[in-house]
Amino acid sequence: MLHPKYRWVGLHSDAEAASLLAEQAGIPKIVASLLVSRGIQDAQEARQFLQGTMKDLHDPYLLSGMQEAVARIRRAVEQDEQILIYGDYDADGVSSTALMLCLMRHLNARFEYYIPHRSKEGYGLHISALEPFVERGFTLVITVDTGISAVEQIAYANAAGMDVIVTDHHEPPEVLPEAYALVNPKLPYCKYPFKGLAGVGVAYKLAAALLADETPAAWTELVTLGTIADLMPLTDENRILVTNGLKAMAYSSFPGITALMGAAGYAKSEPLTMVSSTNVAFGLAPRINASGRMSHANQAVALLTTQSIEEAEKIAEDLDILNKERQLLVDSIVQEAIAQLAGKEAEGALPGVIVLAGEGWNPGVIGIVASKILDRYYRPTIVLGIDPETGTCKGSARSIPGLDIYEALTHCKGLLDHYGGHPSAAGMTLHRSQLAKLEEQLNEFAAGVLYEEHFIPVMHTDLECRLSDISLPVIEQLENLAPFGMGNTCPRLLIRGAKLVESRSLGKEGKHMKLVLSQDGTMMEAVAFGKGELLSQLTEEARIDVVAEASINEWNGSRKPQLMIQDLAVPHIQVFDYRGASHPVVKMNEIRSQLIEQQSLEQRMIAVVAVKDSELTKNYELNDTPCWIYDKDVGVIPGNTAAQLNGQNRMDIKILFVLELPESFDIWHKMMGAFSSLERVYLLHPARDRQEAILPPSREQFKQIYALLKQQVTAAVPEEELISGLMRRTRLSRRMLVMTLEVFEELGFIHRDMGTITVIQAPAKRALDSSRRYLELGELAEMEQILHHAGIPQITQWLMTNQQNVS
């Protein structure tokens, strides 16, 4: 058995509503079903979702403050005022800054821009940054992707004779700055119909308000980059802007985007025919972010605004190098953070909110570290870098559904010098002396809103189907829902009971895996990125449940369906074959250590079973693993102290190492009943020579042996002598003959006394199957034949049947 990482929850889709929508909108039923599950049932709404154009964008003047912002910018341009564009250092902030610079150039304005240094200054508007521009006579500041919390800084600007227009999309604080204009769809009084714009989306709306139909179509490329990078929902007008931006990127008007595509490996000498949201999320965004994380975001702004192909290629190459350095740095900090958290776990249970801090941790990458810790432990996580000289901590937070991290930080605002963000991600600054109180107050807050179910990640599935349902035409229909991203995920298909035909690792160090699945005569390849460690947990011909996205694999002119696995499970007991291992206990300890280390299994979940007085358990160290001994009455009894301590909790045992087999099937059956929660069985028992095998008993065989006995035994004969003679005549194993004689004794056909055997010449007639020993012999023969000589699929099926019979 292999448990899924997520709890799978199927999205509800009304079949009747889907049929009606398919008919009214003229779309395939599978697409209609997916739209209904995403809350779209109206035909007009469906057409706009699938075919929306730039004309369907909302009027930018619906944004509060837009009228005032446009008028002030036009006056500044007309009067030749100096304008400062103040941005942020992440990909959304860089895209917003680049778009605003394009707008300023288009307006022929006098302008400069400023982005704070991530580690030296931190997020937001800073008075120290504004002072030089005040001295130089700048009279208008336009913020992009920042500013909504800058109460003191904007008050300073106002007093210094600067007007400030804030364009932002972050959560507004309780007290708003007194800016010349606040443009943010999340303002409580703003009636704008879509609240999910990225910072660059708000900047684009400002450009659209100023330029109307003259707004260059190419600017949607910048909107696309920032929107996807900032994980904004790809619904409503974000979907329209990103769809148009992805199309434009294939023949980009920005040398920097073309060069960045090349650095990410997506484009060579010719333009791409299609750019996907995945290309942007995993190729462009990390390299843009690397600039602000590892150096200064000015590099990324220069890349997106240059008109020189040569300069763009040089900067793109530099950003690619920075991104690789960033990856190494993140890996290093993650390991330190995990070690620090292990120390906290040793002191007690895993906290509801994880707070980790380290000296010298680069503030530029701690957000990524927080995401990785969250992915591993599924807890709201804050990671902070501590400046050892000043004691200042700069942190990033990532949260899970159920805890609004911005609200949680607001609860602790008395400890913070500065904070801001969204329900799922935030940033903060505080002194290291406040760290312990911050952790305490955050966990107090979390205790009131988070329950056990919140700590189990959920994966929504769109549709349950069979492999045969996933054809090329169906996949092409599903692609009509693209672009995919937050709020509009790629359809996740649930396939149950597919047979594993083949499995192998992919990539460096085997981090990924490739499977071949079979179901109802349909074979399909499936790729699972980042799940290479699961290979050792998949057994031959296992029946697998998978949640996957369907894609088309194109190679050498061939096109075929392919699954991209998001999560998987094996719902039945699994068998792992190490039969005949030369050092079974050594092998067991090796596997056991891997299970505890890699899969977080506890010692109490693992057990060993062997026969009484086994040399294996005497001569080898069991490392405190509970060892159980076969018992004819109850199946198993404790065989060491660890088993005695765990004797009342056999339901906890999920993993069983079989070092030896019992002497009867009845004992095996009782043992399986004792360990009724088994998920995996590791077979390490010694191999038995086929010459010693117990054969399934047959009437003809018993008739033949009885005839030989009547011929040879006319008086009491030593049992050993008789067995040796029968072995020569029948070629049956000694074990088989001993048990056959036991059956004859039970039926009254022979008499045993003091090591001799006498044949009863005229016994009472009795049917063979009236002998309990005869029935036991058949069960034992089946058990040994399967556990010694059958393949893993046959053993698995036999154990599953055995489990059902004892449950």
Pairing of strands 110-114, 163-167: unpaired
Residue type, 224: T
pLDDT at 714 exceeding the cut of 50 = yes
Q: Is the pLDDT of residue 271 over 60?
A: no
Q: What is the pLDDT of residue 28?
A: 87
In degrees to the nearest 10, what's the CA dihedral of 281, 33, 23, 40?
-60
**Mean of pLDDT values over 621-630:** 82
Three-state secondary-structure class, residue 651 = helix
Residue 270, pLDDT > 60, answer: no
Q: Token pair of 237, please?
A: 């007008």
pLDDT at 238: 97
Nearest-angstrom CA–CA distance, 313 and 797: 59
pLDDT value, residue 752: 87
Supply the pLDDT for residue 269.
44
Q: What is the mean pLDDT of the chain?
A: 92
Q: Is the pLDDT of residue 606 over 60?
A: yes
Mean pLDDT of 309-315: 97
Banded pLDDT at 599 (limits 50, 70, 90):
confident
pLDDT beyond 50 at 178: yes
| Domains parsed from the chain with CATH numbers | 7-39+459-569 (2.40.50.460), 56-321 (3.90.1640.30), 349-455 (3.10.310.30), 574-687 (3.40.50), 691-770 (1.10.10.10)
Contact 432, 3 (CB under 8 A): no
Structure pTM?
A: 0.82
What is residue 728's predicted lDDT score, i.e. its pLDDT? 87
The pLDDT tens digits for 753-764 are 888 998 888 888
Residue 693 has pLDDT above 80, yes or no: no
Provide the token pair at 5. 């990482």
Q: Which of 257-271, 568-582, 620-634 has the highest mean predicted lDDT (pLDDT)? A: 568-582
- Which residues 6+ apart lie within 8 Å of 699 measured at CB? 768
Burial 289-313 (b: 16+ CB within 10 A, else e): bbbbbbbbbbbbbbbbbbeeeeebb
pLDDT at position 272 is 56
The per-residue pLDDT for 710 is 85
pLDDT digits (tens, 9 = 90+) for 397-451: 999 999 999 999 999 999 999 888 888 899 999 999 999 999 999 999 999 999 9
Mean pLDDT of 346-354: 84
Residue % of the chain over a pLDDT of 70:
98
Q: How far is CA 227 from CA 34, 254, 644, in A?
A: 23, 17, 59
Average pLDDT over residues 85-107: 97
The answer on pLDDT for 600 being more than 60 is: yes
Residue located via tokens 């837009």: 66
At 138-166, the pLDDT tens digits run 999 999 999 999 999 999 999 999 999 99
